[in-house]
Amino acid sequence: MRDLTVADVHTYYVIAGDTPVLVHNCGDGGPPENEGEWFFRGVDENHRSYASQHGGTVTPVGGHNDPMLHNDGNTDSIFTSWTSNRATAERHATRLSGRGVVLMVRRGTGPIIDMAFMGWDKWGESEVLIKGTVNVQRHYHVG
């Protein structure tokens, strides 16, 4: 048995004999030293889509395309909510059950709308909206 971590890839295939096997990259188990290069998303274990998000894919619910409406709480949209603030993500990851995961993607991932930069960050969470499905690059557990 071998332990293997692949930088910047969350889920990938390896070949075992003649069989391709989908594996899950757990990363280094903690937050990065270079926080300024990442966006973060906190997901509590009791979140309805915890399993798929922890598995490496964050998919928007779908619906409207209004970033201000999303930021105001109507998250049935084409966006997913991220933050540039690691502490905010950790707080969201533990707000229901006390345990969760912080997902990470490098800045520059997907088309983004920086709500704080635009002056629309209603909740003061340094919110960044990413349009469409996002493939997680790293994660770590909290709680």
Give residue 33's pLDDT band: very low, low, confident or very high (50, 70, 90): confident
Residue 40: pLDDT above 80?
Answer: yes
Q: What is the DSSP letter of 77?
A: B
Cβ(38)–Cβ(105) below 8 Å: yes
- In CATH, what is the architecture of 31-142? Alpha-Beta Complex (3.90)
Q: Which two tokens stand for residue 99?
A: 């345990």
The residue length of the chain stands at 143
At 21 the pLDDT is 58
pLDDT for residue 118: 77
Residues 116-138 as b/e (b if ≥16 CB within 10 A, e otherwise) read beeebbeeebbbbbbbeebebbb
How many whole angstroms separate alpha carbon 105 and alpha carbon 85? Answer: 13
In tens, the pLDDT along 64-76 reads 999 999 999 999 9
Q: Where are the domains of the chain?
A: 31-142
What gap in Å lies between CA 77 and CA 130, rounded to an integer?
11
